[in-house]
Structure 1
Amino acid sequence: MSLTQKPIGIYFEHPEWFKPLFAELDRRGLPYEKIDAAHHLFNPAEKESPYSLVVNRMSSSAYLRGHGQGIFHTAGYATHLERIGTRIINGSAATAIETNKARQLSLFESLGLKYPKSFVINHASRAVDAAKELRFPIVVKVNIGGSGAGIIRFDTPEGLQAAVDNNQIDLGIDQTALVQEYVTPRGGNIHRVETLDGKFLYAMKVFTTGESFNLCPAEICQIPEEQSAEFCLTEAPKKGIQVEAFTPPAEVIAAVERIVAAAKIDVGGIEYLIDDRTGDVLFYDINALSNFVADAVNVVGFDPYARFVDYLEAQLPAGSKAAVPAELATA
């Protein structure tokens, strides 16, 4: 046992997405430990965490990789860390919003922000009733999705009814879904605004055909015909998908910062589009998991992981040195 700084705990389940984060931590010589969120245990009786800080990078798409148990486990772990006084980046409040699209709509409503007209259902049979109040086309969007998973478009009431009758609608791992008007984005692009420490970091326009309902511009994923655990492409710019940096209007940035403040998100992205029919700004997704855009230096002009690690260093508690096993001080 030696006196050394407690490591930062990086709590994650995807094997590829956070390599740039680990590289930046290694570059600075910061001690950290990789925490496998898919095969995790914790002791609720412990009084002190072995980590100086825990960074929550759990993904809502984990169930596509056979790791759905981690989504629900994370809520309890985050609550535990907060109770014993361990700083967690994107804690229990952020987790609750990230993993529940119905809560996201409620948050938009509470802030007076517009979003696509929607209803929330907990049984596929109610999709038809909800759709009667909506303009077609519509989408059925699972409550816990992530990376655009579990979104199905219906162009007609008859098509929706047939899908219900044939038990073809899966509401996802919590059996809850949104029934939502499909909105054609003006200019053929959606927008993602990344934030850090409650403030605007950068924004991107992502140009989409509208045929893929995976609106995950931080990675620019493409949904194949069958959902796959590995459909996200971290080297998106090399795949010919048009991405461009831009600065949103001041009122949009202000709205985004209000959203992340209300959701208690330390680092995350907010997605919106411009309704081609009305010109309205419609917010539609809150992401507490930010996989910063591939080739960020060329796309947005700087390395967001460097700024993220700057933030993590600033969050380390004063006097965070303690006697911990040497193996915990290395990744």
Structure 2
Amino acid sequence: MSKIFVLHENPLWVEPLRTAFEKRGVDAEEWMLDQGRVVFDRPPPEGVFYNRMSASSHTRGHRFAPELTHAILNWLTLHGRRVINGPRALYLEVSKVAQYAALERAGIRTPRTQVAVGREAVVEAAEDFAPAPFILKPNRGGKGLGVRLFSTPEEAAHYLSSAEAEPESPIDGIWLVQDYIQTPEAFITRCEFIGGRFHYAVRVKTGGSFELCPADVCALDDKSASDAPAVTFEIVEDVDPELIAAYEKFLLTNDVEVAGIEFIRDAKGRAFTYDVNTNTNYNADAERKAEIAETGMEAIARYLHDELQLLSNVQNHVAAAE
């Protein structure tokens, strides 16, 4: 019998989805992919597979979880299983370089960026951005971890030579040096998509922080630091419909069905898209305040259930024909 399978490496982020499944009376099986094996010559079980692998898995001690997920997704697609956020989505999740290339190919503006490997290359790239402020970020990060703002190449060089940089170094060795988009107000906008369609947008007041994970568990973690800046989330409706349409087309082209896409506007009102998160989470407090009819996780649970029913109908039709 077919069922829903959720592929992930962080049980805390799946808790709201479990609640949404229980609300619908759906039985879903979780595959914790911090370690394991793939028996390629055996077919996977029948069902709908939802990939929630995160680029930040290494920060939770799961260094090779994306690589294991990559093998599993290829195994699933080899056998024709229904996969939500398949190999292409995972590829985008773990590489901002890949994201920017795909976004630019779709005609979506991204911040000016240079790719650098090694301290000297980073400093050389930074010199091309000076005297304007610039951002240094890991190619594979997640949750805004390791993102730093600098005013001069010398500041970046000092940081890279310090002990502080070591735990924030990119797991793949690739740094991005990027324009700092100066905005009149300290907020970014995150657009949520489920089934490739726009669900809602969230305005995130950053408080000067780059760590903007919307999940409740991230907020609890932030409270452990007394000097952590306040980050607030508010569901809004004033989002450019042409930008939403461009995002939907981009997701369709890249075989991504569930994602959060973040953009920021500069002083001239131009939108710069800088992150595609295929392992999206939702802020429960913002959803309650907005009194939305269906939360993000409830919408995902419904979408997965609908896909499972569609799959079951096809299987029953084939069986009847035989």
SS at match of 1:21: helix
Query: Hey, what does 1:110 align to over in structure 2?
Result: 105
- Give the Cα separation in 2 of the matches to 1:15 and 1:25: 15
SS at match of 1:149: coil
Q: How does 1:87-102 map to 2 (within 5 A)?
A: 87-102=82-97
CA shift at 1:174, angstroms?
0.8
Query: Hey, what does 1:195 align to over in structure 2?
Result: 193
Query: Hey, what does 2:140 align to over in structure 1?
Result: 144
Considering Cα pairs closer than 8 Å and 6+ residues apart, tell me whether 1 or 2 has the greater RCO: 1
Instruction: Give the alignment partner of residue 304 of structure 1, picking from 293, 296, 304.
Output: 296
SS at match of 2:145: coil
Identity %: 30
Q: How does 1:28-43 map to 2 (within 5 A)?
A: 28-43=24-39
CA shift at 1:244, angstroms?
1.6
Q: Confirm or deny that 1:214 pairs with 2:204.
A: no
Aligned residues: 303
CA contact (8 A) 1:97 1:286 kept: yes
Q: Confirm or deny that 1:293 pairs with 2:287.
A: no
Query: Hey, what does 2:19 align to over in structure 1?
Result: 23
CA shift at 1:61, angstroms?
1.0
Structure 2 stretches lacking a partner, 5+ long: 224-228, 317-322
Q: How does 1:1-331 map to 2 (within 5 A)?
A: 5-47=1-43, 49-135=44-130, 136-166=132-162, 169-170=165-166, 171-210=169-208, 212-217=209-214, 221=218, 231=221, 241-247=231-237, 248-276=239-267, 278-295=268-285, 296-299=287-290, 301-302=292-293, 303-316=295-308, 317-318=311-312
CA shift at 1:321, angstroms?
7.8
CA shift at 1:159, angstroms?
1.1
CA shift at 1:231, angstroms?
3.6
CA shift at 1:109, angstroms?
1.5
What do residues 306-325 of structure 1 show as CA deviations (whole Å, max 9, x unaligned)? Answer: 22122112212125889xxx
Relative to its length, the structure with more helix (as a share) is 2
- Give the Cα separation in 1 of the matches to 2:39 and 2:213: 35
Further displaced range: 26-35 or 295-304: 295-304
SS at match of 2:283: coil
Change (3 A) 1:249 1:256: same
What do residues 255-304 of structure 1 show as CA deviations (whole Å, max 9, x unaligned)? Answer: 2212222321111110000013x321000000101112223243361322
CA contact (8 A) 1:192 1:217 kept: no
Further displaced range: 164-173 or 30-39: 164-173
- Give the Cα separation in 1 of the matches to 2:122 and 2:165: 9
- Give the Cα separation in 1 of the matches to 2:114 and 2:216: 28
SS at match of 1:318: helix
CA contact (8 A) 1:194 1:270 kept: yes
CA shift at 1:167, angstroms?
7.3
Change (3 A) 1:169 1:124: farther
Change (3 A) 1:25 1:168: closer
Change (3 A) 1:241 1:177: closer
Further displaced range: 95-104 or 150-159: 150-159
CA shift at 1:188, angstroms?
1.3
Further displaced range: 159-168 or 36-45: 159-168
CA contact (8 A) 1:52 1:320 kept: no
Structure 1 stretches lacking a partner, 5+ long: 223-229, 234-238, 323-331
CA shift at 1:84, angstroms?
0.7
- Give the Cα separation in 1 of the matches to 2:252 and 2:122: 32
Q: TM-score, normalization: structure 1?
A: 0.84
CA shift at 1:146, angstroms?
0.8
Tell me which amino acid in the other structure corresponds to 1:15: P
CA contact (8 A) 1:6 1:321 kept: no
- Give the Cα separation in 2 of the matches to 1:263 and 1:159: 37
Change (3 A) 1:258 1:215: farther
